[in-house]
Amino acid sequence: MSSIKEHDYLKVCAELASFLTISIAAAKKKIDILAAKSGARDISSRKKIAETLLADARKKSFSDENAMTNQLDNLLEALAEEENFMVED
């Protein structure tokens, strides 16, 4: 039975990692840090923390100006002093 719970936990970790565009290890590390702060030790409580993080990230992404798509657009814009920069001669 624990392998099923662990599979569900890993699935939520993977969804969080995919949404935040980070590695699964980084997502698990984030969850582990929050779990340590709250004293959560079992997989079901860690899964709840992961689900909360995922829901918060989705909510923030949809409501915030700094959504992932807006961040990418801002990164791809050329600055005024870099517009005429040439990599090759």
- Nearest 5°: the CA angle 33, 61, 49 is 30
Q: What is the pLDDT of residues 11-66, one digit of tens each?
A: 999 999 988 888 999 999 999 999 999 998 899 899 999 999 999 988 877 666 55
Handedness of CA 33, 34, 38, 39 (dihedral sign): negative
**Range ranked top by mean pLDDT from 4-8, 34-38, 61-65, 77-81:** 34-38
